[in-house]
């Protein structure tokens, strides 16, 4: 990891979260290290805590986390009113990278806010080089969040 602030939030490169609140706290800690133009690829199976993590990001940015919902069917949700805008994307239902352009994918990434992309690994080649990859896994009742180089 090249960012010392992120290394401080993830000293071993990962966190184990036993509850949804811990997942949101992990996101809040990470959000403190993120600035304008940050892109996050949230990767892992359904139910691993990706949307819960985005609720924590929203909360840290001063956006009501109750407004955050999975964009599985709408594909993109934008939240404003915090210290930075938050764009929440879900690429699960897309089948090819050619579907990204009509959605305004590049415009979202070029914006002034933070972009959290669920299932971003499906189209990793389309992500900016500075994208922070977070891999979620389910371990019993807990969720592991690992920073992937």
Residue 3 φ/ψ region, left for φ over 0, alpha for ψ in the -120 to 50 degree band, beta for the rest: beta
pLDDT along the chain (149 residues), means of 10: 70 92 96 94 97 97 94 90 96 95 94 95 96 97 93
Domain ranges for the chain, please list them.
35-148
pLDDT value of residue 58? 97
pLDDT value of residue 79? 96
Please give the structure tokens belonging to residue 111: 């914006």
What gap in Å lies between CA 92 and CA 25, rounded to an integer? 25
Contact (CB, 8 A) for 133 and 146: no
pLDDT value of residue 102? 94
pLDDT value of residue 2? 59
CATH number for the region 35-148 comes to 3.40.50.300
Q: Are strands 14-17 and 142-148 parallel, antiparallel or unpaired?
A: antiparallel
């Amino acid at each position: 990891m090249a960012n010392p602030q992120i290394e401080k939030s993830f000293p071993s490169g990962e966190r184990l979260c036993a509850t949804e609140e811990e997942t949101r706290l992990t996101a809040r800690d990470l959000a403190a290290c993120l600035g304008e133009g940050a892109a996050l690829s949230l990767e892992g199976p359904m139910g691993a805590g990706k949307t819960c993590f985005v609720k924590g990001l929203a909360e840290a940015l001063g956006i009501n986390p109750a407004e955050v919902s999975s964009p599985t069917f709408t594909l993109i949700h934008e939240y404003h009113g915090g210290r930075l805008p938050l764009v929440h994307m879900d690429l699960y239902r897309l089948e090819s990278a050619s579907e990204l352009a009509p959605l305004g994918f590049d415009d979202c990434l070029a914006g002034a806010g933070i972009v959290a992309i669920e299932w971003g690994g499906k189209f990793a080649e389309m992500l900016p080089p500075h994208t922070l990859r977070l891999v979620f896994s389910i371990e019993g009742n807990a969720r592991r969040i690992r920073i992937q180089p």
